[in-house]
Structure formats: C-alpha cells, structure tokens
C-alpha cells in the first residue's frame, strides 16, 4: 500500500461533546439505572477519532487530556466499542485507532460515550459495512446509556435511561460557551447525593422555537436536577455559573450532565467567542471554548 493509499484509507470522526440543556431525573429502575427526560445538543467541538488499517487492533491516545486516560487503554470505551463491533462483523480487520482527547475528563459532556460512538461510526466506514440502525443502537446501548444519543449526534429529547431518542429538527441555530474549572466530578457520587429520584418530566415543548432566545426562555422553565448536588460536591461550579450568567449576551447559564462543565447559550458565534475570550483573561487556568450549536 502506498503512502497515498494509506492517507486515502484514513477515516476521521469528530466525537462531539454532548450538552444537556435540561436534565430531569424522573425515576430509578431496580437495576440502578436512572430514568431521565433531557434535551441534548451537540456543539461543533469534541475529541477526534482517526482510524487507519493496521495488522492488529490498537489504540493510541494523544491530545490535551490524554494523560487522564492513559493508565489502562484496554479499559477505554474506544477499545471496548471496537472489539464489540468486530465480534459482530466477519469482515472486521486490524486497525490503529487514534483518540485525540480534547475534552475534559469526567466533565458531564459525554466525552467517553462520544468517543465510543465516533469509533463505531469510523469503523463502519473503514470496514465498509452498514449494520442496521437497530443493531448498532443496541450495541451502543450495551456500551453505556449515553452512547446511543452520541451515535446520532443530533439535537434530541432523550428519555428512558437514554435509549429513547426523539430527534428535534426545528431547534434554532445559535452558539454556546462551554466552561469547565478543570475539576473532575464523580457521576455516581452526584446521583448518591441527589435527594429525590422521581421528579417531574420536561414541561410541554412548543412545536417550534422562533429563535435561540425563545428556546432559552422555555429552558428557564426546566432544570438540571443534578446541578444542586454537584455544587454541594464542587462549589466551584457556582462561580462558573455566576460568571456565565453575568455576561450581557448570555441567554441562559446552566450546568451540563453531572458537571462540572457549565454552558451559556447565546445567539451568535461572535458573541460566544467574545464571552470565551473575556473569561479566558480572567480564568486562564479553566477550559473555555465557544462553538456553534
């Protein structure tokens, strides 16, 4: 195989961050899984998955946050996703997978799940296979409750434990600022701290939102049920939320998932970039990004 052929065979997928604009915890099953009702979006920012043909299946981890997940690559969701998909495909062959880790770890934005989902998408392209959407969704769910929604990577209302995905095609375009004070939050610890597990679902959703401002106004009638217990574990989250809410162009400030990443919804990418630049000057040691959504 020539160098040109190798380059042509390289497959890349962006593992977009998953942001919970609202997250209501509505119950808990006997097996321990929590039931939820959530509105999720996937900004144009994430980790990068690259796949190239190789004699064996291997994983190389690079990027800003690679050191956080280097200890046991075999336990990485990327390798688990690749091995699981390979077991279902007789045509599977060796590949070298590179994960460029640009998203913070344990940050409430689905980094590991997004990586696993992007790996599934990249390998189906690399191996030239098209598993049925149902089979792929079942495989994704076996990797984790967030993986199916990350596989779709589209704005959606999510229910059940994450497997009921209702795509939303009429959400307005806008931008988002993501901020993490670079503290890791334990999701099990947050759920353990959550006082009430059976909360009301999302309120009735309008058929369409005329603007990002209209969406933000509706979201103000929603919540993230994990935000309060997360703040009790990591008070720095309050500082992040206060700073984001104080920016003139911020339409809504809230925490995503189990934290500690928080977001501000704004109308334009230019406004998001201005907020990110301003916060970076004040908090240069935080992870701060602006992106379209």
Catalytic residues: 18, 146
Which residues are CB-contacts of 119 (< 8 A; sequence separation ≥ 6)? Answer: 13, 49, 51, 77, 78, 81, 82, 85, 97
| CA dist list (Å): 201 to 22, 38, 205 | 10, 8, 11
Phi, psi for residue 65 in degrees, rounded to 5: -110, 25
Instruction: State residue 256 phi and psi, 5-degree precision.
Output: -100, 140
Q: Is 186 exposed, middle or buried (0-12, 13-18, 19+ CB in 10 A)?
A: middle
Q: Cα–Cα distance between 130 and 133 in angstroms, integer?
A: 8
Residue 95 contacts residue 123 (beta carbons within 8 Å): yes
Nearest to 108, CA basis, from 212, 191, 232, 198: 191
From the CA atom positions of the chain, what is the Rg in Å? Answer: 19
């Amino acid at each position: 195989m020539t160098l040109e052929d190798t380059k042509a065979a390289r497959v890349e997928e962006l593992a977009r961050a998953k942001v919970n604009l609202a997250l209501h915890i509505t119950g808990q099953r006997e097996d321990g899984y929590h039931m939820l009702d959530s509105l999720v979006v996937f900004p144009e920012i994430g980790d990068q998955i690259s796949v190239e043909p190789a004699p064996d299946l291997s994983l190389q981890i690079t990027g800003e946050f690679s050191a956080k997940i280097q200890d046991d690559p075999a336990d990485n969701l990327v390798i688990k996703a690749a091995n699981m998909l390979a077991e279902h495909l007789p045509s599977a062959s060796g590949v070298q997978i590179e994960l460029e880790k640009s998203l913070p770890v344990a940050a409430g934005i689905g980094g590991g799940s997004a990586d696993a989902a992007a790996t599934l998408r990249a390998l189906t392209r690399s191996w030239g296979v098209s598993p049925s959407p149902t089979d792929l969704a079942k495989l994704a769910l076996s990797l984790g409750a967030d993986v199916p929604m990350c596989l779709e990577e589209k704005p959606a209302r999510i229910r059940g434990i994450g497997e009921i995905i209702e795509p939303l095609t009429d959400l307005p375009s806008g931008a988002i600022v993501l901020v993490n004070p670079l503290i890791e939050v334990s999701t099990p610890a947050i759920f353990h701290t959550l006082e009430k597990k059976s909360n009301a679902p999302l309120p009735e959703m309008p058929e369409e939102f005329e603007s990002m401002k209209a969406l933000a106004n509706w979201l103000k009638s929603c919540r993230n049920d994990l935000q309060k217990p997360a703040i009790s574990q990591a008070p720095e989250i309050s500082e992040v939320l206060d700073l984001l809410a104080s920016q003139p162009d911020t339409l809504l400030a809230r925490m995503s998932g189990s934290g500690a990443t928080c977001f501000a919804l704004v109308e334009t990418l230019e406004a998001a970039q201005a907020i990110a630049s301003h916060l970076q000057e004040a908090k240069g040691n935080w992870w701060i990004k602006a992106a379209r959504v």
